[in-house]
Amino acid sequence: MSSNRFVAPISVQPKASKILSVLLFGFHLCSVAVLPWLDLPGLVVIFLAALIGFSLVYSIRTHVFQKGKKAVAVFEWMASDRLNVRDGQGQKYAVQLGGGMFIHPKLMILNLTSDEGFRRSLILLPDSADPDTQRRLRSRLLLRSWSK
């Protein structure tokens, strides 16, 4: 990538992922299933089960349906190498790629940080976005990580 004028912007608008919702439900269900075997008082087990239920609702709302302030409803990588995020409430922010990204053809996890100090995660599975857009994003991420 020698010049920015040859780099097309990438815009990802994640769709509701059935795979992610099933995985989230399964992981949360497994954690609730372990609770009866813990040596804890009954009220503590009920409280932990309620917290796990809240975590499930929050995770599905944020990462599957892209609703709320912490959701990533639109991710844009402009030709000028500027990154923008629009949250579930429509606010637009400039962000940078954080560390700890996971890039694989079946799963991408992008950690994003802003100048305001907040952090967001974008989870992309095969049914989350257009395959061509995911391929272009994965290629640009890999090229960027190799150039450092």
Q: Is 104 exposed, middle or buried (0-12, 13-18, 19+ CB in 10 A)?
A: exposed
pLDDT at 1 over 60: no
Three-state SS letters, 65-103 = CCCCCCCCCEEEECCCCCEEEECCCCCEEEEEECCCCEE
Q: Which residue has the tokens 């790629």?
A: 97
Phi, psi dihedral angles at 77 (to 5 degrees)? -115, 105
Q: Confidence band (pLDDT; 50, 70, 90) for 55?
A: very high
Q: State the pTM of this model.
A: 0.86
Please give the share of the chain, as a percent, with pLDDT higher than 70: 94
| 97/85 Cα distance (integer angstroms) | 11
In the chain, what percentage of residues exceed pLDDT 90? Answer: 82
The predicted structure's pLDDT at residue 148? 61
For 66-110, the pLDDT digits (tens) are: 999 999 999 999 988 899 999 999 999 999 998 889 999 999 999
Could you give the CA distance from residue 7 to residue 25 in angstroms, rounded to a whole number?
38
